[in-house]
Structure 1
Amino acid sequence: MYDWISALEAEPLSDDRIRFDTRDPARQALDGTVVTPLVQFGVLDVTGIDAEKFLQGQASTQLALVDGDFAPLTVFCTPKGRMLANAQLLRVAEEHYRLIMHRDLVDSLAEHLRKFAVFYKVELATRQDLALIGLVGQEAGALAEVRLGVAPPSIWHQSGDAETQLLAHPGPRQRLLALLPASRATEIWRRLVDQATPVDNAVWCLHDIQAGLAWLTAQHRDALLPQMINWEALGGISFKKGCYTGQEVVARAHFRGQVKRRTMRGQLEGAVLPEIGCPVVDSREKSVGEVLAAERDAYDQAEVLVVMSTKEDMGPLSVAGQKLKLLKLPYPVERLDPETLATL
């Protein structure tokens, strides 16, 4: 747990979970504005004169688009096209790029990239000295502008400067992710909680689920193609750029329509919150998928993202002994080029 977190009136549940004594936190995000420490995320910086060239050969996005305004999703794969990590990529300054991903994958991705970095003039650094704070709700944008002095950007874009960046993520309510030096985090937090309610970071994770946005964890590292988490539908894959590690497999799966599993959104009829990796089973108890993420919503029901077979008419489905009701994703499962998204 990061040092600045220990100063908060919260209970750390694990390295990537934190809880506040706030009643109905998910409801608070629907009715007002909330703030939460995003301890589930970690940061990897790539710097040096070859940083753009280096990342162009490893990431699924077109680096020329990452211009300090557009901050796209991206993914890093094995030569077989399996994901090692998915991330949001932003440019902090000239020759300085920053990746935000699940904290459990930062070190392993850095170790993987260092095998290629020796051929470039770049440096990789995991950033333990940065704080990530999330704002969710009706007044998130106004609060960020007043308390952080940064105007909110549009979704998958960035604003701010080399010290403080503000990113906008999709969801049922406005969501902003602030990235700043940990040395300023306590001061900024106090400013924000004057007008926003502190809540568990599970609230942010719930909104990820409702946005159909799956962040890879160590449970599924080197196991899934990017399309299995709908990454091309979220603008996280450029099919117009040159080669990158795993590109041939990812492109073949797209153009030949060989994706047999997809991420779907659902709700469980029961009180049990399943663990990541918990199987989705059909009426014959045959596994047809597994859980990527699960959180309780404002009505104390479990909402989930599951990666599962695209076969139709599989009959009743269940997770952890509870009926699974599939819900509509908030986006069409079709290709969205980041080149198009950059202009929105």
Structure 2
Amino acid sequence: MTDWIARLGGRREHDDRVAFDTPEPARRAMDATVMTPLIHLGVLDVEGEDAKRFLQGQTSAQVSLADGDFAPLTCFCTPKGRVLANAQLWRVAEGRYRLLMHRSLVTRLHDHLKKFAAFYKAELTPRPDLALLGLIGREAPAVAEVRLDAMPPAVWHQAEGDDLQLLAHPGPRSRLLACLPVERVAAVWEALAAQAEPVGNAVWCLHDIQAGLAWLTADQADAYLPQMLNWEALGGISFKKGCYTGQEVVARAHFRGQVKKRLVRGQLDGALLPEPGSAIEDADDRRLGEVLSAELDAYDQAEVLAVIGTREPVEPLRVAGQKLKRLQLPYPLERVDPETLAAKA
């Protein structure tokens, strides 16, 4: 992976972060079309005669909705309803499904699911041979149509291009994610460069924060109910499907209103990025929750996603010595059925 990043002119700052020399990358994403390698994300394939049935018993998604058009959010839980991994699911071909998640969870989820896959005709395969590229900007759909030979899909849907899949994600600007073989990256990158500027993947992560979309890492697994990540408000839980691991707890929390923590979006009054897990504290020094992710915005202020208690806190809130201002989420905290989203394309 390091080799193909270097061939694109990027430099790896650590395992999950790549940077380029483009100045003010977050601002460029507001004004122009930008592209970035999404090295913080990874892919796990599930394939076989029983792949659909196997996934149906493990994931919060209604797997039949992943039909080659709709590509729903989903999550995998423990029997206690805690999220082991949250992901996006799409169908590559009949009996072949693909899961997108944080790269640190690919092996962990593979090892967890392998214990159950032994009872099905289904194989699990991590895909380090696939690359993920992000395209951001008002003109991103037009650029993708011309340069990737793919008709841009609606948000949480998929389209096929020339030996790649194209997914649309929400955000303050249009966002498209291309999944393609590593050996094709250089040629695709060169084609996109005619209309897009390279930026580091911190820009994509910032837009995830602004979209209210949290991707758990391995360090954050087995800690939250899906609703604590606002997953039902993003259409990531089907309450109309049958049983899956953790379903009883997840459903009870929803129907009895027992979710005591929620994902919130905020902005700090400084440029110091808090580490994931940093405490959110109120004016009485009580810990309310913790940071999941943080990135600098176009104005060099830190924006964060955090999980905190739903009780009204004693203001002001702070994290890492900086004041935290709550920002509005781009969606209401209401249940959105994936069945409804699938029908909106």
Normalising TM by the smaller chain, what interval? over 0.9
Distance 1:72 1:177 in 2: 14
Deviation string 1:171-195 (CA, Å, 9 cap, x unpaired) is: 0000000011111001100111121
**Residue of structure 2 equivalent to 1:189:** 189
Question: Residue 245 of structure 2 aligns to a residue in which SS?
Answer: coil
Distance 2:296 2:34 in 1: 17
Distance 2:83 2:313 in 1: 29
| Contact 2:148–2:161 (CA under 8 A) maintained in structure 1 | no
Between Structure 1 and Structure 2, how many residues are aligned?
A: 344
- Unaligned stretches of 5+ residues in structure 2: none
TM-score between the two structures when normalised by the length of structure 2: 0.98
**Residue of structure 2 equivalent to 1:118:** 118
**Residue of structure 2 equivalent to 1:234:** 234
Distance 1:342 1:162 in 2: 24
Distance 1:42 1:66 in 2: 19
Question: Residue 318 of structure 1 aligns to a residue in which SS?
Answer: strand
Moved more, 159-168 or 16-25: 159-168
- Unaligned stretches of 5+ residues in structure 1: none
Distance 2:201 2:264 in 1: 22
Runs of 4+ more than 2 Å apart: none
Moved more, 70-79 or 160-169: 160-169
Distance 2:163 2:56 in 1: 24
Q: After the TM superposition, which residues 214-225 of structure 1 pair with which residues of structure 2 at under 5 Å, given as runs?
A: 214-225=214-225
Distance 1:2 1:43, change over 3 A: farther
Deviation string 1:43-65 (CA, Å, 9 cap, x unpaired) is: 00000000000000001010111
| Contact 2:140–2:174 (CA under 8 A) maintained in structure 1 | yes
**Residue of structure 1 equivalent to 2:24:** 24
**Residue of structure 1 equivalent to 2:109:** 109
Question: Residue 219 of structure 2 aligns to a residue in which SS?
Answer: helix
Question: Residue 53 of structure 1 aligns to a residue in which SS?
Answer: helix
Q: CA deviation at 1:161?
A: 5.6
Question: Residue 52 of structure 2 aligns to a residue in which SS?
Answer: helix
Distance 1:336 1:58 in 2: 20
| Contact 1:171–1:207 (CA under 8 A) maintained in structure 2 | yes
Q: CA deviation at 1:270?
A: 1.1
Distance 2:274 2:260 in 1: 23
Distance 1:6 1:125 in 2: 26
**Residue of structure 2 equivalent to 1:35:** 35
Distance 1:2 1:238 in 2: 38
| Contact 1:92–1:162 (CA under 8 A) maintained in structure 2 | no
The amino acid that maps onto 1:108 is R
Deviation string 1:193-252 (CA, Å, 9 cap, x unpaired) is: 121110010000000000000001112111100000000000000000000000000001
The amino acid that maps onto 1:167 is L
Q: CA deviation at 1:162?
A: 8.9
**Residue of structure 1 equivalent to 2:68:** 68
**Residue of structure 1 equivalent to 2:250:** 250
The amino acid that maps onto 2:308 is M
Q: CA deviation at 1:11?
A: 1.5
**Residue of structure 2 equivalent to 1:325:** 325
CA RMSD of aligned residues (A): 1.0
Question: Residue 231 of structure 2 aligns to a residue in which SS?
Answer: coil
Q: After the TM superposition, which residues 80-159 of structure 1 pair with which residues of structure 2 at under 5 Å, given as runs?
A: 80-159=80-159
